A and B are shown apart, each in its own frame.
Chain A
Amino acid sequence: MGICIVLFSSLSQSRSSYIFRILNSTGAAERMTKLSALVAAVSLLPILCFSFSPENPTDRRVLVLLDDLSLKSSHSIFFNSLKSRGFDLDFKLADDPKLSLQRYGQYLYDALILFTPSTDRFGGSLDLAGVLDFVDSGHDLILAADASASDLIRNIATECGVDFDEDSSAMVIDHKSYAVTETEGDHTLIVSDDYIQSDVILGSTKVESPILYKGIAHSLNAANSLVLKVLSASPSAYSANPSSKLSNPPLLIGSAISLVSVVQARNNARIMITGSLDMFSNRLLRSGVQKAGDSNKYSKSGNEQFVTELSKWVFHERGHLKAVNLRHHKVGETDEPAIYRINDNLEFSVQIYEWSGKSWGPYVANDVQVQFYMMSPYVLKTLFTDQKGLYHTSFKVPDVYGVFQFKVEYQRLGYTSLSLSKQIPVRPFKHNEYERFITTAFPYYGASFITMAGFFIFSIFYLYNK
């Protein structure tokens, strides 16, 4: 089993470049016995397991870019929770001249945390396009900005579908649901408990205490189906410069303001974007929270649970599905045919598993559907599940020939989207598959035979009866 994982992880995913090189070197040393090769492979197993692969979708190697190394200690709770979950964090300064996400065309990291709100340009070879390509090749990203967010950070967010408030000095202000502190302040440390309703994203345990937030606002395009508002501001919030008087009505107000958003790209790469770096800080994670006008005082803010659970989702520890073994065959047979005939009865099955962070378990739902599709679905059936990950159904091929597809399109909030299709042609009847004799045509058969016989008799009469 371990060997299997080795092969899978090294062959199927491109991230593990150095593993390739190690394997190659072992391969080059052909004198080595099989056994030693096996030992080497087994000894490599722990390293290999850390790499991202379809078999093991959780991120392992995370690059954390910081403006200032002091963040490492001021946000240590968050980082430690990651480390304790097995992540391999690599802290670097944003302007590190040797900064590089990839080497020899292979990515060195599985995920990126950008805690660099004020960086105007990265060091080394990394730039805006580099970050976006990183995401587009299926890697995850956590991006936190704050009031000093640079153009670079804003552009990354924009490219992902999140628009930070264009006013660079604006912050989210809420005069009603601000956090009660010793000093009155300018009400920029706000409290929010308007979460997205999704157990997949935020975990099954409800976040009890509200979230403390201090940072800038962003908005989402409603037409953008990939981006989700995870934490939104209260209806009384607005985005403006707290130190100056409002001359114009603020552009971003109320619950249109998103505080934390997540994006699941089409390739299932996950991105978390927030306008508050402080949200992750030890200070806010540890502090108690009391919402203005609310007598409830929580001893600890919900931030820790919130960011931990959200990071689990972002780093694919939760909500990751895979569909395998898409099979179909005629009723009563087991082999998959190359072509179906119209009106055949077929059985279809697919296995869907969910990643629990450590292992694959069955995914149980009652809303998985299969389409038998040729430009439009001809058959649409909900699949039955055996609670062990197997989904199956049977149906009759429509009376239309053509090139069909079995399609499973499964998109649920928080889960990675499943999109499977398998092409299968459907042919009409062969010449010898029709009925030989049709009952209703018997008068015609009779007529033709009678005519033949009649002609025969007539010929005999005519020829020999002169």
Chain B
Amino acid sequence: MPIIVISVGNRFVYVPANKPQCPISTKESLPLHRLLETYKTKAPYSLTLSLPLDIYFQLKSVTHFWPSMAAAAETSSQRTLRNAFGSVLAFFILLLIGVLAFSIRLFSVIKYESVIHEFDPYFNYRVTQFLTKNGIYDFWNWFDDRTWYPLGRVIGGTVYPGLTLTAGTIWRILNSLNIPLSVETVCVFTAPIFSAFASWATYLLTKEVKGAGAGLTAAVLLAMVPSYISRSVAGSYDNEAVAIFALIFTFYLYIKTLNTGSLFYATLNAIAYFYMVCSWGGYTFIINLIPMHVLLCIVTGRYSSRLYIAYAPLVVLGTLLASLVPVVGFNAVMTSEHFASFLVFIVIHVVALVYYIKGILSAKMFKVAVTLVVSIGLVVCCAVIAVLIALVASSPTMGWSGRSLSLLDPTYASKYIPIIASVSEHQPPTWPSYFMDINVLAFLVPAGIIACFLPLSDASSFVILYIVTSVYFSGVMVRLMLVLAPAACIMSGIALSQAFDVFTRSIKFQLPGISGKSEVDAGETSSSSVVAENDAAKPDKSEETLKERPSRKNKKKEKGQVEKANVEKNSTKSKIEKRLLVLPLEASVIALLLLVFLGAFYVVHCVWAAAEAYSAPSIVLTSHSNDGLHVFDDFREAYAWLRHNTEVDDKVASWWDYGYQTTAMANRTVIVDNNTWNNTHIATVGTAMSSPEKAAWEIFNSLDVKYVLVVFGGLVGYPSDDINKFLWMVRIGGGVFPHIKEPDYLRDGQYRIDSQATPTMLNCLMYKLSYYRFVDSDGKGFDRVRRTEIGKKYIKLTHFEEVFTTHHWMVRIYKLKPPKNRIRGKTKKSKSKTSTTSSSRKSGARKKNPWH
């Protein structure tokens, strides 16, 4: 094995050439110690400055890399024991972190019930049911004729199958072990299980960056970060639940490959990336972030063969694997989201070639070669770029999907794609939501970034890039707060662990009585840094202290470190000098206390968020009032009514939010659902909802709709009802059918439903269906969501009839009346007679709702 030996001062250290960052374990160092001694005399491999500076600093940054051979030999047995003890402790801590991550997400099950939440999870649940019933091939080829009527949806080709396959596999394994859990139970608990995995992945990733201590801290933080909890409580069976684990794990494997240069990890990385592609559309984040990092490394002169091994297999294998996922398919090579990776792939090969040529050519020849290559390369590049531009320009959106465009230009969606803008999770977040979702991490992140700069390694530069990009993305879309959360946890974990490191060490030095024994104890300060207290460790110690100081003052001294390191060559620092470099005892104690308080506050906030804010399943609602707890189970009531009282092939129209639930819970065909692949179809439903009754009836009838479902919160004050979403229906409808104009529904730019509302508004179907008979409830028609009396109280329906209204009026179901059996004549006389007819019919209709 080739060995690189670096001499610093009069000590020698060695590293295996293929993993220069890898610290020497004490075990390894023993037999090689003699070897090194001989090398020292001959010193043929003493390559003092032949390594790039950054690797030199990387070597330094790994603390237990430093101990001299003598020291290692001296305390090796003791340290082995300590390491073993630390590993066991870390293992149990990780186990507990997993338990914490799992159990903090069970509030929703305990407070409500074991039930699938919200909208999308119902679709995933339905798909999983299909998978477990019919097997993977039928799932792959599943053409679903119950959604998007009459277009249908090729489910197998349009879903990210990762989550479904994961849950299906878990279910299958459990069943084969004779643990008969229902599919629903497995689905409910998939997210908590995977958040435990995600915490462990965070530990691994952070450990690669800054050592085990930071890893454990980051894992704890991630286990209960509210942002992640919001998407992974038990029952929240959505892609993000497994995708965040896949994301972090892919990053970990990338960093691991980068640190080791092992092809094994590179292959694993590609497989992890494949799993991520299977799971979530957010995989484009990975395939853009990693190239960015590679480019950064190349530009900053950090190119190495490890970088090549970490990147090239990922692109080749990853792209091949990604295109196997039906939903991605040729997108993996056709869309602009992936072009960055290919571009960097070319760049890294050019750079590799340059390094190679540089190695075999003399300096003079190299110059000639450079001019040659640059001129040819420019031509080739121009050609490639021209082809790329032609490809990109040939597509109307320049090859970018709407969601990605709205990431780059935050105003894009609201300008051009109302269907993307209408989703609340696609809105930019407000400031409080940062505090809500990542809490104190927001303050710790900057400290973590600074810690990552001291010193800057390949791994830490990646983490910095990760946090910077994810902060930007989270600012665009509140949903991407989820991507920010792991980055923030990693950064905060690093910051916290480094801070604890400094403070506890400062205390240890200054506490009387302990200082004498500190040689022994110091090693335990944290599991990340095993510091040996002896002559050899002293410079290191001061070195670290020095590192911490600029982090609190400024970065000015960062540069000075290089000199410091050289100065230290012959340093014989005394303990007195060291004492100057540690913090005062009182300050350390107070700072420690404050940090503990900060952590405690974070824990309290997280538990509160998990218990109160993010555990509501949103299909069952509760409210506390003076007379106790109210449970609103209207959604399931309505879906059950549909399931039991309508024909199997009946079509139910509703706004697309309720499509997944209707198919999954009521088992009825829907016109549109939460999968937004066909804008026109959604616009058709939007147009129907914003049209007058007759036009709406015609639209619905042409779609074979039998029932129309509206969600109405006016009676109980449920704010996310269809009236509040109505403007989006108008916008989306108007985007395709220009006769629907938004200003017609607004009075002086204001959206109102009271007597000031415009006639168009008062006559549209949504208004009528929402407020039909509403005045009967309290005599005034006071809408508790909009806090106003409604504008049109006595509504007569001509083409629709009410068939069901739930207990709290939250869901109202109407049936389309059949076309009139007869067509009336023109004569309008003897009104008394006709009015008796209609009134008798109305009373007939009124009788039909037995609930009021």
* Chain A residues engaging chain B, CB cutoff 8 angstroms: 128-129, 132, 135-136, 151-152, 154-155, 157-164, 166, 220-221, 224-227, 263, 265-267, 269, 339, 374-375, 401-404, 423, 425, 427-428, 430-431
Contacts and interface: CB of A to CB of B under 8 A. Distances in A.
Given A155-B830, A402-B151, A403-B152, A267 B837 contact: no
A158 B820 CA distance: 14
Given A128-B833, A404-B150, A157 B825 contact: yes
Nearest to A373: B150
B821 interface: yes
B834 A155 contact: yes
B39 interface: no
Contact of B819 (A158, A266, A375): A266
B829 interface: yes
B827 interface: yes
With most chain B CB atoms within 10 A of its CB, the pick from A160, A267, A403, A428 is A403
A463 to B, nearest CB: 15
B826 interface: yes
B821 A163 contact: no
B649 A159 contact: no
A266 B819 CA distance: 8
A403 B151 contact: yes
B822 interface: yes
Interface in B821-852: 821-827, 829-830, 833-834, 836-837, 840-841
B149 interface: yes
With most chain A CB atoms within 10 A of its CB, the pick from B703, B822, B827, B837 is B822
Interface residues of B, number: 33
B152 A401 contact: yes
Nearest to B144: A425
Given A427-B143, A431-B140, 5 more contacts: A151-B830, A163-B825, A166-B829, A221-B826, A403-B149
Nearest to A136: B821
Contacts of B826: 163, 221
SS of B interface (majority): loop
B821 A267 contact: yes
B824 A158 contact: yes
A356 to B, nearest CB: 26
A388 to B, nearest CB: 31
A158 B143 CA distance: 50
A136 B821 CA distance: 6
A401 B140 contact: no
Given A128-B833, A129-B840, A402 B822 contact: no
B183 to A, nearest CB: 23
A402 B820 contact: no
Contacts of A158: 824-825, 827
Given A129-B837, A155-B834, A339-B143, A428 B154 contact: yes
Contacts of B151: 374, 402-403
A431 B141 contact: yes
Contact of B822 (A135, A375, A428): A135
A247 B703 CA distance: 54
A264 to B, nearest CB: 10
B519 interface: no
B827 A163 contact: yes
Contacts of A151: 829-830, 833
Given A129-B837, A155-B833, A155-B834, A161 B143 contact: no
> 8 smallest A-B Cβ distances: which pairs?
A427-B143, A425-B145, A158-B825, A430-B141, A163-B825, A403-B150, A163-B827, A224-B823
A135 B821 CA distance: 9
B154 A265 contact: no
Contact of B823 (A129, A164, A226): A226
B829 A161 contact: no
Interface string B686-721: 000000000000000011000000000000000000
Nearest to B156: A431
Nearest to A221: B826
Contacts of B152: 401-403, 425, 427
Contact of B143 (A166, A263, A404, A428): A428
A258 to B, nearest CB: 12
Contacts of A132: 822, 837
A200 B703 CA distance: 34
Nearest to B140: A431
A375 B154 contact: no
Contact of B837 (A128, A135, A339, A430): A128
B259 to A, nearest CB: 27
Contacts of B143: 339, 401, 425, 427-428
B820 to A, nearest CB: 7
A423 B647 CA distance: 13
With most chain A CB atoms within 10 A of its CB, the pick from B821, B837, B841 is B821
24 contacts: A128-B836, A136-B821, A151-B829, A151-B830, A158-B824, A161-B824, A162-B825, A164-B827, A220-B825, A221-B825, A225-B823, A263-B822, A266-B818, A266-B822, A267-B821, A269-B821, A375-B703, A401-B152, A403-B150, A404-B150, A425-B152, A427-B143, A427-B154, A431-B156
Given A375-B702, A402-B151, A425-B152, A226 B141 contact: no
A302 to B, nearest CB: 27
Interface in B133-168: 137, 140-141, 143, 145, 149-152, 154, 156
Contacts of B141: 427, 430-431
Nearest to A227: B823
A200 B429 CA distance: 71
B150 A159 contact: no
A159 B824 contact: yes
Contacts of A402: 150-152
B466 to A, nearest CB: 35
Contacts of A427: 141, 143, 152, 154
Contacts of A404: 150
A166 B827 contact: yes
Nearest to A263: B822
A263 B830 CA distance: 23
B134 to A, nearest CB: 13
A422 to B, nearest CB: 10
B97 to A, nearest CB: 41
